């Protein structure tokens, strides 16, 4: 079953999105969705006392709830709401981390339309408060994964109304970001590159 | 309309929980729920570039969604889930903040049963990562509000199986925490006491 968010994006139920066993053996957990991979990485970091990072639940507007006798409350009418922040945040050795994960099928650039104004505003506010803010971008067709500091994204975002460029070139992401290689544990070792961001604070 | 969570707690819809205008004039926004007061305070801090703190949405397990033509997706069956973290987190001038807000009708102590094991585990993990972890406790009957650093809560939590004490005495909260006074903006100026926690880091 796939569920569409109001913005037309597919909401994927994790259990139905599990890869075939053969993929698991060959590629660790690589067959899973980017969200599943990041959640698995965060679970690994948490279990090993490395960092406490969680995905925020999707905000939902509840309209109607039933209370059947002797069983749990059932939400009977509710609607997806647009999040006012990024999806992930938490703490890593005294540093506040805040990030968003996005996938694209594009091959040469990452479209800025993947972000909402309020997410950008949130990133700017986090940067202002000295947080570590970044995006994990998956180029699905190329099978490439990058960590891009928000600074670059925010520059492109603010320039789009001036120069008309509505995407970040892959080359820029390769130069100003870090390529992430899948490993077994954690699946996506993104904190290695967060360390590099911290070095340059 | 009031909606019950599976744990029996009342889920209050904010618009229906708004105080009468006379209360607003006399006491700022004091007639609202503790959650509303904290959210209003966080909105004030955000608007003034002081801190970026958000309440996490309640996690919900979605089972069934309808897609009416030309209108938003409607969730038709869903269930409340237990959160694996505290309700609030964010960043304040380079510091990761993480807290929970709780109300009690007790007059002399705060029952530990207000917390779940996973919330306590989360607080411990945050403290380990050098985060600022605390609880905002409202003694509703006494009309008193306190900020208590997690350290005290965690000590009482870990001791309860040894000494059998299932609550934190109000006197301890007054000695080891900080009394919060309501103000107009922000409604609950809790960052003033977070500053004191930071001083003692």
- What CATH number does residue B125 fall under? 3.40.1350.10
Cβ of A92 within 8 Å of Cβ of B57? The answer is: no
Residue A137 β-bridge partners:
A102, A146
Would residue B79 count as lying in a domain? no
Cβ of B3 within 8 Å of Cβ of A62? The answer is: yes
The CA–CA distances, whole Å, from A87 to A95, A111, A118 equal 17, 18, 12
Structure tokens at A19: 């890869």
Q: Is B179 annotated as a binding residue?
A: no
Q: What is the DSSP string of chain B?
A: -EEE-TTS-EEE-GGGGPPPHHHHHHHTTTTS-HHHHHHHHHHHHHHTTS-EEEEPPPPEEEEEEE--TTS--EEEEEEE---SS-SEEEEETTEEEEEEEEEE--SSEEEGGGS-HHHHHHHHHHHHTT-EEEEEEEETTTTEEEEEEHHHHHHHHHHHHHH---EEEHHHHHHHSEEPPP-SSSSS-THHHHHHHHHT-
- Calculate mean pLDDT across residues A157-171: 94
pLDDT at A144: 97
Q: Count structural domains, chain B.
A: 1
Would residue A64 count as lying in a domain? no
All residue ranges of chain B with pLDDT < 70 are 1-31
Please compute Rg for chain A using Cα positions.
18
> A59, B57 in Cβ contact below 8 A?
yes
pLDDT at A16: 36
Candidates B60, B67, B93; nearest CB to A4: B67
Residue of chain A whose Cα is closest to the Cα of B45: A125
User: Which tens digits make up the pLDDT trace of B82-115?
Assistant: 888 999 999 999 999 999 999 999 999 999 999 9
Q: Is B119 annotated as a binding residue?
A: yes
Min Cα distance B17 → chain A (Å) is: 15
> What's chain B's length in residues?
201
pLDDT at A30: 59
Residue of chain A whose Cα is closest to the Cα of B3: A65
Q: What are phi and psi of B4, to 5 degrees?
A: -90, 130
Would residue A5 count as lying in a domain? no
Residue of chain A whose Cα is closest to the Cα of B98: A90
Would residue B155 count as lying in a domain? yes
pLDDT at A70: 86
pLDDT at A27: 43
Min Cα distance A108 → chain B (Å) is: 33
Residue written as token pair 């070095």: A199
Would residue B71 count as lying in a domain? no
Whole domain around residue A143: which residue ranges?
16-57+83-199
The CA–CA distances, whole Å, from B65 to A12, A36, A96, A195, B126 equal 12, 21, 35, 41, 35
Would residue A51 count as lying in a domain? yes
Find chain A residues with C-beta within 8 A of B51's C-beta.
Answer: 129
Percent of chain A scored above 90 by pLDDT?
Answer: 77
> B49, A125 in Cβ contact below 8 A?
yes
Find chain A residues with C-beta within 8 A of B57's C-beta.
Answer: 56-60, 83
Would residue B174 count as lying in a domain? yes
Please compute Rg for chain B using Cα positions.
18
- Calculate mean pLDDT across residues A66-82: 93
Min Cα distance A194 → chain B (Å) is: 15
3-state secondary structure of A155: helix
pLDDT at B29: 53
User: Which tens digits make up the pLDDT trace of A106-152?
Assistant: 999 999 999 999 999 999 999 999 999 999 999 999 999 999 999 99
Cβ of B60 within 8 Å of Cβ of A60? The answer is: yes
pLDDT at B24: 39
Residues 6+ apart with CB under 8 A from A88: A38, A42, A53, A54, A55, A56, A97, A98, A99, A100, A101
pLDDT at B14: 40
Looking at the predicted structure, is the pLDDT value of residue A68 above 60? yes
Question: In angstroms, rounded to a whole number, what is the distance separating the alpha carbons of residues A92 and A70?
Answer: 42
User: Which tens digits make up the pLDDT trace of A91-103?
Assistant: 999 999 999 999 9
Q: Is B181 annotated as a binding residue?
A: no
Find chain A residues with C-beta within 8 A of B125's C-beta.
Answer: 46, 49, 52
Residue written as token pair 């650093």: B149
Find chain B residues with C-beta within 8 A of A46's C-beta.
Answer: 125
Question: In angstroms, rounded to a whole number, what is the distance separating the alpha carbons of residues A190 and A132?
Answer: 12
The CA–CA distances, whole Å, from A200 to A40, A149, A194, A196 equal 27, 11, 10, 7
Find chain B residues with C-beta within 8 A of A89's C-beta.
Answer: 89-90
The CA–CA distances, whole Å, from A100 to A123, A131, B159 equal 9, 14, 39
pLDDT at A160: 94
User: Which tens digits make up the pLDDT trace of A189-198?
Assistant: 999 999 999 9
Would residue B143 count as lying in a domain? yes
Q: Is B86 annotated as a binding residue?
A: no
Cβ of A94 within 8 Å of Cβ of B130? The answer is: yes
> A41, A30 in Cβ contact below 8 A?
no
How many residue pairs bridge chain A and chain B with CB atoms within 8 Å of each other? 126
| B58, B62, B88, B194, best to mutate vs chain A, most A CBs in 10 Å | B62
């Amino acid at each position: 079953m796939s569920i569409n968010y109001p913005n037309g994006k597919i909401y994927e139920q994790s259990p139905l999105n599990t890869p075939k066993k053969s993929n698991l053996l060959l590629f660790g957990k690589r067959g899973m969705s980017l969200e599943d991979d990041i959640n698995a990485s965060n679970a690994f970091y948490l279990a090993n006392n490395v960092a406490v990072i969680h995905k925020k639940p999707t905000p939902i507007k509840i309209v109607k709830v039933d209370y059947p006798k002797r069983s749990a409350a059932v939400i009977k009418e509710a609607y997806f709401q647009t999040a006012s922040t990024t999806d992930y945040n938490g703490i890593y050795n005294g540093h506040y981390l805040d990030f968003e994960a996005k996938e694209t099928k594009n091959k040469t650039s990452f479209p800025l339309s993947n972000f909402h104004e309020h997410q950008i505003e949130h990133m700017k506010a986090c940067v202002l408060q000295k947080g570590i803010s970044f995006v994990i971008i998956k180029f699905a067709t190329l099978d490439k994964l990058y960590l891009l500091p928000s600074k670059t994204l925010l520059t492109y975002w603010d320039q789009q109304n001036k120069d008309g460029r509505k995407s970040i070139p892959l080359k820029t992401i390769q130069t100003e970001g870090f390529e992430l290689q899948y490993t077994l544990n954690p699946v996506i070792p993104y904190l290695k590159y967060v360390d590099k961001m911290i070095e340059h604070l």
